[in-house]
Amino acid sequence: MPRSEIIGHENIIRFLAQVRTRGTVSHAYLFAGPSSVGKTAVAARFIGELLGISQPAERLSDPFVGLRAYPDLNIIEREDDPKSGKRRKNISIEQIRALRERLGKSSLLSSWKIGLIVEAETLSDEAANALLKTLEEPAGKTVLILLSSSPGILPATVKSRCEFVRFNLVSERSIRDGLIRRGVRADEAAELAGRASGRPGAAVRELQNPEAAQGNQEKALQFVQIFGAPVWRRLRFAEAAAPEKGAIASADAAAATLGVWEAVLHDALVIAAGEPALAHLATFRDRIRTWAEARGPAAVLAALSSLTLARAALAENVPPRLAFEQVLLKI
């Protein structure tokens, strides 16, 4: 996979290449960081290199499209409930037991045996305990990779037995340049990068899915329209904007909404600081300017800081409505 196809995380990509070439691959890794930041894409690349597989061009919908057929790769993720057709809330102990059994057998291709656990924070308590046995007694040439957007939820016993790899948000410039390399016009790339709030996957998803882009535009408009509204209206908006109660992916959906709000507040901050040329959301510039100039840089910065608290709250399983309120009470 050409290096340019992953946006950002060059240091992590170099590190993983080094441990592979030096023969110092750990038995378990925890790839932790915000959703849509690039954990899955980097994992797919690392796995492909371990297995000696030439990956096809990156696909956002399924980065493992060229890997799933390989018998030495075992991907564990939440299964669909046959009754409701929706994803189950947790990864079950039965799935982990099956994984342990497969990893305990000889490699079918005399290569690495790899277990990838997607959304590791959704492991049930029983599944996490079962996984510990594999983490404590790793077999030769076996690698476990856990992906998590909320590592704080994982048991400390699981985290302590993995090599922690932190995925940070990617700079706006890196996302913009990555999109331009994909053939996106410079002005469009700048706007997409501004809305992505450090998440390359969010930018590429908008690029590939116009409906998602339209949805984000609507979220941004609703957020701007609530600027300066009475507290009761902002609290009501927090409830309306929160993902459906009990939705399986509510934390990720809420994080995506916070990303849209962050893009708006970024523009508000640069406008309040007297640098309107650095703003990206041209559609809402006049509305944002009115609010930002009235509030001033300090108040806008406080609103931006509240996003960090809201994201931390989501990571601790706080309901999205309460996380949203932390931001909306600051605007």
* DSSP per-residue string spanning 2-50: -GGGS-S-HHHHHHHHHHHHHT---SEEEEE--TTSSHHHHHHHHHHHH
Sheet architecture: strand order including 163-166 = 73-76, 113-117, 142-148, 28-32, 163-166
Q: Which pLDDT score is estimated for 75?
A: 94
Residue 137 CA from chain centroid, whole number: 30
DSSP label at residue 138: P
pLDDT single digits (tens) 182-222: 899 998 898 888 878 788 988 888 888 878 778 888 898 99
How far the first Cα of the chain sits from its last, in Å, is 44
d(CA 134, CA 147): 17
Question: What is the reported pLDDT for 223?
Answer: 93
Burial, 301: exposed, middle or buried (Cβ in 10 Å; 0-12, 13-18, 19+)?
middle
209-328 under CATH 1.20.272, yes or no: yes
119, 149 contact by CB (below 8 A): yes
pLDDT value at residue 328:
94
Give the separation between CA 86 and CA 106, rounded to whole angstroms: 34
Q: What is the pTM of this model?
A: 0.76
Distance CA 134, CA 130 (A): 8
3-166 domain in CATH 3.40.50.970?
A: no
pLDDT in tens, the chain (331 residues): 344 478 999 999 999 999 999 999 999 999 999 888 999 999 999 999 998 876 554 555 567 776 777 888 999 999 888 887 777 888 999 999 999 999 988 887 778 999 999 999 989 999 999 999 889 887 778 999 999 988 888 999 999 999 999 999 898 899 999 999 989 999 889 888 887 878 898 888 888 887 877 888 889 899 999 998 999 999 999 999 887 655 445 777 888 888 889 889 988 998 999 888 778 777 788 889 999 999 999 999 999 889 888 887 887 778 899 999 999 999 8
pLDDT at 55: 59
Domain residue ranges in the chain: 3-166, 209-328
Q: What is the structure's pLDDT at 161?
A: 95
pLDDT at residue 1, rounded to an integer: 37
Q: Which of 175, 218, 219 is nearest to 198 (CA)?
A: 175
**Contact of 44 with 63, CB cutoff 8 Å:** yes
Query: How does 187-213 read in b/e, with b if 16+ C-beta sit within 10 Å?
Result: eebbbbbbbbbbbbbbbbbbbeeeeeb
* Cα–Cα distance measured from residue 213 to residue 235, given in angstroms and rounded to the nearest whole number: 26
DSSP 230: -
Helix (H) / strand (E) element for 136: namely: helix 125-136
pLDDT of res. 263: 84
- Look at the block and give the residue holding tokens 């406008």: 271
CB-based contact 272:278 (threshold 8 Å)? no
pLDDT given at position 34: 84
Check: CB of residue 216 under 8 Å from CB of residue 189. no
